[in-house]
Amino acid sequence: MRLLEALILALPPIAATASTHWPYQRYVIPDITSDPHKHGKLEFADSEPPNHFIEWLRSAVKSDQSGTLRQPFKDDKIPRHVRSFEELWDHIQLPEAPDNATHRPIFTHPTFPIPPTNREALSIFADIGYPVDPLCTSDKTKWFYRTVDGSCNWMETGNTTYGQLGAKRSRDYNQYSYQDGYNEPRDGPNPRAVSNAFFKRKQRLYYEHTPLLLGLIEFIMHDVTYSEDSTTEYIDVPVPPDEDTFPKNTTFRVWRTERVPGTGTSPSNPRENANQASTWLDVSSLYGSSTEVSRALRSFEKGKLLTSQGSFLPFNTMGLPMRTRPGVDPKSLFAGGDPRTNEDWIMLAVHTLLLRDHNRMCDLLAKQHPEYDDERIYQTVRLAMAAKFALIANSYQMAYWQTTGTDAMPWPRDDGFPLYRQMYGENALEINPAHLYPWPLVTKGGKPMVASAEMAVVYRFHEFIIASFPLKDAKNSTIREKSTFESAFDSKGFIEAGLENILRGIVATDIPNFKSGVDEAFRSAGKYRGSPFDIVTWSIVHEREQGLPTFNEYFRAYNSYDPAVVIPIRERFEDFSSDPEMVANLKRLYTHPDEVDLVVGCQLEETNFPGTTVPSSALIISLFSLFGLGNSDRFSVGYSIMRCILVDKPWDCTPSNALDELFWDPKPTEHFPKARWLNTFWLNELDFQAHGTNLLWRLITENSDVDCLQKNPLFPYDPETNPILCSLSPASPNVPELILTAIEVILTLYKEHQGSFVSFLVGLITLVVWIVYQLRTHPNGLPPALYGWPIVGVALQFKSGPNRLLLKGMRKWTKDVFGLKLANQIQYVVTSPADMQAIVDDSQYEVKFSLHEFMRSINSDLITGKTNFETDLHTRLMRNNLLDSETLAGFAETAALACDLFHSREPLLEGNEKEKHYDDLIDYLNRYIIFVMSRCLVGPDSFDDEGLLKTFLKFNDDAINAMGLASLLPSPLRFVAGLSIQKDYKAIERVLVPAVGRRRSQQSSDVNFLNFILPVIDNDKDAADMLAIVVFGGLTNLQATMSSTFLDIINQPGLQERILDSLGGAAIGDLSSNRSSSWASLRSAAFESLRLSGPVTGPARAVMEDVHLPSDPSRHLPKGQAIALTAYYLHRQPSVWGADADKYRWDRFMKEDPPIGSDKFVSWGLNTPHICPGRWFALQSIQIMVKALLEKYEFVQDRELSDGEKYRYSSGSVLRNPVGVKVLRRS
């Protein structure tokens, strides 16, 4: 007990250093390249950040005329000194206790709530203002959480499908402008001619915003609207006669929007278009709007979403309907909640950040509520994410406000409601966040505002699209420019470029303003999804084919509602524009102003909406609608934050959904068991203090390795108005300070437990562990690493279970590289293709990475001998003789003869035995492999000496152990690993030196490796040693690969016969490095086993100088350490090999070989001069040996092993786990 108490006392100082939450301290630095620890100043050095929410609430309470807001507070006001939610609770005026409440039990923190009955739900929604449909209230999951498809958000009886997936898209003013009144597309001039006339980019006007704004627009639009193309109806648009970009015979084919079935039959039943996304701001682009998509994206563990390695979006191995382009397999793209997930890297960056933020908040909620199960965590965080996204959308809409000059947006600007105050001419006190649901101001005809057909077409802001954006490293240096258009449908490239490099780039540049025209990469694309493309032509065609109104038609209806901001009707073409060229184009293309398309009129708009930088007509259709649908949402963050003030009261509050429950914590008293108050933690998490204005900065810094960027990432950096802020990451720790702090902990322990040696010991251990931890968590630009114990690091775990250690690192860090601290070096494991390519690029010179020096570090010089190691003679001999097709054919004959000889000498069934059971066949296979290898390498003389074969096997084991000891022993003790190897050499030499001497006088007529050694090495002892080295190289490879090929085949019922049938006409002479049909099945099976039997780390290189990682230039690998690939991990990546990447599938390579030497298949190394020289010899030997076994015997395993049961790993090898086998003789 004392030990536990002491440990608990020791933990708080340590935990405090690792736990921070907003509002936290941030450094202001002069520019992005400054060191925050040297040049940074605290953002709030002398004060706390202001709480704007409390300031707003104080003002609203003071101005409240109805008394509803004032009622809960003492003296009907909030005092000026109140600055926190905790202080505010002290000013709640609790009513007198009811007579029957004096002895009620005090509530404890609730467990998972019991689903209320329909009656209880109706009680909660008694004052909602419309009859509630039992379809929603009878099932708690439909009203307490968001439904997947958006149904039951609006719970009115008979209208519960409003806004859900598949519902018809609303029209702002119920206008249908079809040519025939109900189905035929509205007539108009050639859409491409319209595009050329009004949307061609002639100049790039500066807009003081970053491309992050563009990414948010895309994500928001994909969240609330999606139209599927018809599979049968299309509109062809020929290029106009004056076309100057595309050939004159070019035709754009635009597919019509899929209609709602049964519509478009008559004027009374006009064609409707279905919205294939839920219309609410529910982040459905991340989660999906259907059960199928939603479930496919979930991990079903602790509420989290699936991710791929590095915490990127999961690859689409589940086969969701993702948009792609010809030649790009949808399974190679990311999977998301919307089919357009992969359309460009800017939006993908936003999507990735939101994915990581969901999983981060799941961890927060699970820590606070360990009793929550996966489903409750997921559903609650999904609501919290939508609330956060709505607050981000508030920050996003503020990006359009004019903040200076006479036309500036009036205060308050950041509470989310200035647009409506401008629209309706009301003041801040009449329109503010304090309102009930449903809010009449955001309903139309008694229904909530949803994403309309007009909004879906106009709210694109295509002029913001940039031709390219920079990728920037941590020092703000441009790595390269990336074409925005070419970033589409390139998930692998996104990972290789690095999220951080993309984010730094898009917040360091600007976008074009309205009136700039659309970039030609998107307006005149040669190929997009397989055909010529013009994003403007598509918008115009869809406006017409959906029967949307023209510009004048739309705004006549709008003006009829008597808005404060009126849009003048264009009576003349000159009313559209002051530009004579634009007026001339209007007159050339249209016959009357009423014919001008809606998107064209918005494009030509020259008057900005009051207080904003956005043209009035475009803003009314887009941002005004966005604001309306956000506040029409029953789960709106604004309603939840006021739930226990406006609907209920703090002393008697019942949450109407899980978001209410999150915001309002139980705070029961004796007389008020249902009392609740604001949860400071979650209000901080959603940045209520600043109305969400810090959320974009936090979204980036909390979910990436970008620590410094401008305060508002939607605007370019400005030292005065938008300074660079850095998250507080401590500098390299001050060791004396750490020691003094830890000593203070020990003294506290001793004071509490005087005379207790255990207390002192625990304190001392805590001191050591803490200091080591602090020193290691700030590696000064190095990748993170698993350090383990002093001296040996994690070498012991690496020796016994390297795969577990690797996966621990992968789970711990969301990076493409991390280190494993072994005794004599750190091995940095890389998985990024860019980092692997750096090894390939350096391979000719080995200036940065050296295979030779790495082999020395793992004791290869002890195994091969120093002289041979320095000359690399054994590798040159193999490279010169094992790649020649004629020589390989000779080795094939030798191997086949050796197989027959082995089976005659060591049959699995003796005499007349028909069957026999073996506990396992591993030892038998090893004897089989070394017998054939010895015959191929040594030749006919002495190859089968029993002592020699046993020594070869022992030499192999000792060499592997020596390599493993390299990770355990410091460099001065490496000689210990070579002691047993020297004994093996001597035993081998006793047999082989005489045999070598005999062979010099009498050459062998068959093909064997000794024939190639003798002309090069004059000394018989050295020649014998060379044979031992080559045997070791071959045996190490074949022990894993030949055994796995054979055991994988017999493990799968029926596969032996299938392979044998395919080998019916196979001849040894058909074998080669190229494919042949007769051996194709066995070759495919061998490659598949080779893929799955790869080592945990390797191939590897020594790092010869400090090298910055191409995948993340802010990090570098230090000189003297090692860089290692991981065949084990790379060969199991679903993004490369499909959903069954970790499963054995013998026919995976029937059509083509694996990409040998690429970053996808590294069993034989990368495609460098060091790629395995014996690869084709090994492959053909495997096939010959397996064929001989299968033809002679039938094998029946005691049980079928799962793929996860097959292997056991050590630091130097991959072995098969034993399984009992019954052997039967084939007739």
**Burial of 581: CB neighbours in 10 Å, binned 0-12, 13-18, 19+:** exposed
Report which of 1155, 1088, 1089, 1165 is spatially closest to residue 1127, judged by C-alpha positions.
1165
Rounded distance, CA 1 to CA 8, Å? 11
Dist CA 1037 CA 1020 (whole Å): 26
User: CB–CB of 1209/803 below 8 Å?
Assistant: yes
Q: Which helix H or strand E contains 298, and what residues bound it?
A: none
Question: What whole-number distance in Å separates Cα of residue 502 and Cα of residue 480?
Answer: 10
User: What distance, in Å, lies between the first and last C-alpha atoms of the chain?
Assistant: 71
CA 752 from centre of chain: 48
Which residues carry a binding-site annotation?
A: 462
Burial class, 1052, CB count within 10 angstroms (exposed 0-12 / middle 13-18 / buried 19+): middle
Tell me the two tokens of residue 572. Answer: 């003349």
Binding residue positions for heme b: 462
Report which of 387, 36, 477, 395 is spatially closest to residue 212, judged by C-alpha positions: 395
What is the C-alpha separation between 345 and 493, in angstroms, rounded?
9
Q: What span, in angstroms and rounded, lies between the C-alpha atoms of 1207 and 1012?
A: 36
Peptide bond into 438 cis (omega under 30): yes
Is residue 806 a contact partner of residue 1126, using CB atoms and an 8 Å limit?
A: yes
Phi, psi at 951, each rounded to 5°: -70, -40
Residues paired with residue 1100 on neighbouring β-strands, in sequence order: 1124
Residue among 1096, 1109, 935, 945 at smallest CA distance from 1027: 935
- Please give the radius of gyration of the chain, using alpha carbons only, rounded to the nearest integer: 36
Bond preceding residue 650 cis, omega within 30 of 0: no
User: Any idea what DSSP says for residue 20?
Assistant: -
Distance CA 265, CA 62 (A): 57
For the chain, how are helix, strand and coil distributed in percent, rounded to 5? Answer: 45, 10, 45
Nearest in space to 308 (alpha carbons), one of 493, 502, 491: 491
Whats the size of the chain, residue-wise? 1227
CB neighbour burial string for 338-370, b if at least 16 within 10 angstroms, e if fewer: bbbbbbbbbbbbbbbbbbbbbbebbebbbeebe
The rounded distance, in Å, linking the Cα atoms of 73 and 70 is 6
Q: How many CA atoms lie within 13 A of 667 on its CB side?
A: 21
**Tally of CB atoms within 10 A around 1073:** 13
Structure tokens at 689: 């203090």
> Which of 1080, 1084, 1062 is CA-nearest to residue 1071?
1080
CA separation for the pair 1199, 1052 (Å, rounded): 10
Q: Evaluate whether 634 touches 153 at the Cβ level (below 8 Å).
A: yes
Closest CA to 685 of 698, 701, 697: 698
Q: Which of 300, 315, 286, 295 is closest to 1140 using CA atoms?
A: 315
What's the maximum distance between 2 C-alpha atoms anywhere in the chain? 116
Pair 32, 724: CB distance under 8 Å: yes
Find, among 161, 143, 129, 391, the residue nearest to 279 by Cα.
161
